[in-house]
Structure 1
Amino acid sequence: MEETQSQPLSKAEKAQLHLENETLEGNPQKRGVTKPRSLHSSQQRFRQGRESNAAEKSTIALACGWIVEHQLGIALNLLCLLFLLHSAFPAARHHTQKFRELSYYNANTGKYALGRDDSLFVCFWIVLLTGLRAGVIDYLLIPLAASAGIEKKKAKVRFAEQAWLICHHGTSWFCGMYIWYNSSYWLNLRALWSDFPTREIDGLVKYYYLVAFAFWLQQLVVVNIEERRKDHLQMFTHHMITCGLMFGSYCYHQTKVGNVILCLMDVVDLFLPLAKILKYLKFRLICDIAFGAFMITWFLARHVLYMTVCWSIYAHVPEEVNYGCYRGTSSDLEGPLPVPDDYDHLIRPFFDPTGLVCLNTGIRQLFLGVLLALQSILLIWLTMIVKVAYKVVSGEGADDTRSDDEGFETEEDESQDLIDKIHLCVEPRPYVPLANLPIEKEVGFDEMRISPSRLGRASPVGRSSRKSDGHAAATTGISLRGPSNRKELLGRIGCDKGS
């Protein structure tokens, strides 16, 4: 029966096979193997290893890696496709403009209602933020990090990521504070719950809220497709709760309290990236000062003021809101109506913006419970921050323990990567048993024998002879058999002195 030919091994596989054969030949007792494996069995093992590694890589992991590498191109292509459809097909503009513009404008009141088409606006901003993030990081912030003297690749990426967060959270915080300061609920907790349900909101409020929601949805994708940190589970849970709260508060017409909580969160997210950037720039003293400001802001905003808002939900909502259900638009609002006995009224606001929306003790406790769950995650992070503060006090400097060492761990530089690639590409020597290898031996000049027939050609390095007693013979690459040819040899190697 004809034997099936196996596929040839790659250079890297041959190198690994050669290394294993040398290990087995040199230490047979340690490995429990008396001789190296055959080439055919090694080929099968490498083939099986490749198949098992390919099976371990799921389709989702491969897709995530591809998206990370091409996120800028994906975003640009989607945006170009949208603008092309909008320009080339006038009949489709009624639909395409919903991606770029706010929907449900009421010309009589000058405000915007809520509706399903708002999801198209959110999708547009998810794509836009993805493209902006990738483009700004790759073509602006990473070169800025390099010009600032940051050499390591990972440190430059971390610097760029933190700088992007400062850009976004800074813009979001200033916009949110402007809305809060010019509202009726500025420093007035009871006003957060008045006029429920608020069916229409200002255009700036709607724009701000939907863009913030798109950002957190985009962060939910980023935290799962990019390299995972030590606190991946906490980050993923935090983003899930944040997105759930924003979606629920938007559909239940509670954007006022959502605006306040976003302001409390964004102000903290300004100081932590700033401290990290100063760390990458090696401004240790200013970094420690910024970290101290971050700790104070974190405690006041996320544990004092945030819990004050939670207390207001518990204490003020029953006093300021007439429990019951409401339906209709802002101009023909009906209610309060009795709360139905079924659970359908809980999800109806997510599908019908002008339909039945209810608020009672159960719904209030549900929102309060989710906010307290978010507070529990913030408390876990607070313990990690305290550990960093202890390091600062003890003189070790500020170093965020919530995620991996960002840029200061041992990292191979580009030259080392190039050396590794060269090692993989070099053709390995064929396997030769150690018993057949030539033995290097130092001999005196008188013991050398010159062979006139071999002086004109080089001797191969791997050539050796075997003596009758079975021991490996010594070889020098040339054979010197008599003193008569010493002068000729010395002349060939440039050591003969003129007489």
Structure 2
Amino acid sequence: MSAKPANRRRRSSSVTTALRQVPLNKQTSNINMRETVKPLTKGAPRRSPDDLPERYKSLGLSADIKSGRWMLVPSSAFMLMMIPVILWANQWMLIDLGLMGSFTVNPFAWMIFPSYRLSNGLYTKGVLDFVFIGYYIIFWSFVRQFVTLYILRPLGRKFGIKGSKVMRFTEQGYAVFYFGIMGIAGILVMKQLPTWWYKTEHFWLGYPHREMTWRLKTYYLMQAAYWCQQTIILALKIEKPRKDFKELVAHHIVTLWLVGWSYGISLTYIGVSVFVTMDVSDIFLAFAKCVNYVNEAWSGPPFAVFVCVWTYLRHYLNIKILYSVYTEFNKIPFDQRQAFDPLNDNWMVGWMKWQIFVPIFLLQCINLFWYFLIWRILVRIVLFDVIKDERSDDEDSDSESKQVGEADKAE
């Protein structure tokens, strides 16, 4: 076998060939690599503190309804609220055009206006009142979120409130808004009643008080809708829970018990009286807390006024109401205390006295618990010059308040 020529060139490998095709550094030294390198993804823009959190932004009406998000999103609650209004107006338009009979029942009116109007212009109660309450749960959801997110939240920022205090400020600001309206409304309603100002014997004289003015019925059902909506807010924990969460749940349950029971058995006179004691005192409580969030140095005078108002309304007058239930129940006409017949709207047999007494007494016990916390603040300030803020575990660790902070529990 003949030998291969010694001078034959060795064949280059494919790897070597490929490497030769790669440009050398000296060939690309005039290229600015920094200019050619681009980030793969664009960084997310930093969210402004004024931007609403994502939970308050709509995902579309249908998705908001399915998820219950409409209670947080004002635009979705507003659209839900307007649907019955548009349908109600549409039916009246069809009647005006002669396309529907003038006596056609408009079912959407049951949602917007009180039902069961009598020929004398007064109102009575019935199952359609639940439809009215359901609609105004949506109404209060819209009002609450709109006021807190678009009025009070920017206002809190303008006052220089930061962090979790902003949410607390909006919660208490809304309390001032709501109780300010309903407190005044309650006083105006009560002024038209024989019970003005806490003439307790008229809770029972002339019972049953089945017929109501438009103002009284609307006021009562709006209160019922508000407390139902607040209970849902509490159950969903839309507001940050505090250490007294259980007491607050008990307060809402007892309040709903009082509202429903007093309305159902035609004791609206006593119900209005209880509402006034609660709502008016809550105005001063919420206002004192708002002032405290803005500037702790200003919170002393509002807190002092609040303690006086709270003492008079939530304790003196409420105990007066309790005493009336205990001692004046028998002023109910004798014929109305002879039979327990709910189907015929007859309720007031002897043992029903305790069905009225117990929820008001439980409410007073909860108020006394909060009253103890209020006085503990005063004792620490006056005797020991120690101001301690007991907050819920879910809040920021920074001190949010001094004098009014512990009274945050007093809802």
Fold conserved (TM > 0.5)? Answer: yes
Look up the SS of the partner of 1:110 in the other structure.
coil
Look up the SS of the partner of 2:123 in the other structure.
strand
Q: How does 1:199-348 map to 2 (within 5 A)?
A: 199-225=210-236, 226=238, 227-284=240-297, 286-318=298-330, 320-325=331-336, 338-339=338-339, 345=341, 348=342
Per-residue CA distance 1:380-401 (angstroms, 9 max, x = gap) = 11222222223332434585x4
Asked whether 1:386 is paired with 2:375, we answer yes
Number of the residue aligned with 1:122: 133
**CA shift in 2, pair 1:368/1:410, >3 Å:** closer
Number of the residue aligned with 2:53: none
Match for residue 370 of structure 1 among 350, 359, 375: 359
Deviation at 1:324, TM superposition (A): 5.0
Distance 2:388 2:70 in 1: 30
The count of residues paired between Structure 1 and Structure 2 equals 323
Asked whether 1:82 is paired with 2:84, we answer yes
Number of the residue aligned with 1:196: 207
Number of the residue aligned with 1:395: 385
Letter in 2 for 1:154: S
Structure 1: which 5+ runs fail to align? 1-62, 326-335, 412-499
Identity of aligned residues (%): 25
Number of the residue aligned with 1:430: none
Distance 2:366 2:81 in 1: 36
**CA shift in 2, pair 1:295/1:70, >3 Å:** closer
Letter in 2 for 1:249: S
Number of the residue aligned with 1:136: 147
Q: TM-score, normalised by structure 1?
A: 0.60
Deviation at 1:82, TM superposition (A): 2.0
Deviation at 1:181, TM superposition (A): 2.5
Asked whether 1:147 is paired with 2:137, we answer no
Letter in 2 for 1:153: G
CA contact under 8 A between 1:158 and 1:407: conserved in structure 2? no
**CA shift in 2, pair 1:410/1:310, >3 Å:** closer
Distance 2:247 2:313 in 1: 19
Deviation at 1:81, TM superposition (A): 2.6
Structure 2: which 5+ runs fail to align? 1-64, 95-99, 401-411
Distance 2:399 2:354 in 1: 49
Number of the residue aligned with 2:17: none
Asked whether 1:173 is paired with 2:183, we answer yes
RMSD value, Cα = 2.7
Distance 1:69 1:181 in 2: 34
Match for residue 157 of structure 1 among 167, 173, 179: 167
CA contact under 8 A between 1:86 and 1:93: conserved in structure 2? no
CA contact under 8 A between 1:75 and 1:131: conserved in structure 2? yes
Q: TM-score, normalised by structure 2?
A: 0.72
Distance 1:370 1:306 in 2: 12
CA contact under 8 A between 1:71 and 1:134: conserved in structure 2? yes
CA contact under 8 A between 2:172 and 2:289: conserved in structure 1? yes
Match for residue 350 of structure 2 among 337, 342, 361: 361
Deviation at 1:405, TM superposition (A): 8.3
Distance 2:159 2:122 in 1: 46
Distance 1:296 1:64 in 2: 46
**CA shift in 2, pair 1:314/1:106, >3 Å:** same
CA contact under 8 A between 1:324 and 1:360: conserved in structure 2? no
Number of the residue aligned with 1:409: 398
Deviation at 1:129, TM superposition (A): 0.5
Per-residue CA distance 1:59-116 (angstroms, 9 max, x = gap) = xxxx999638744244123213323433455578611111101111123x22111111
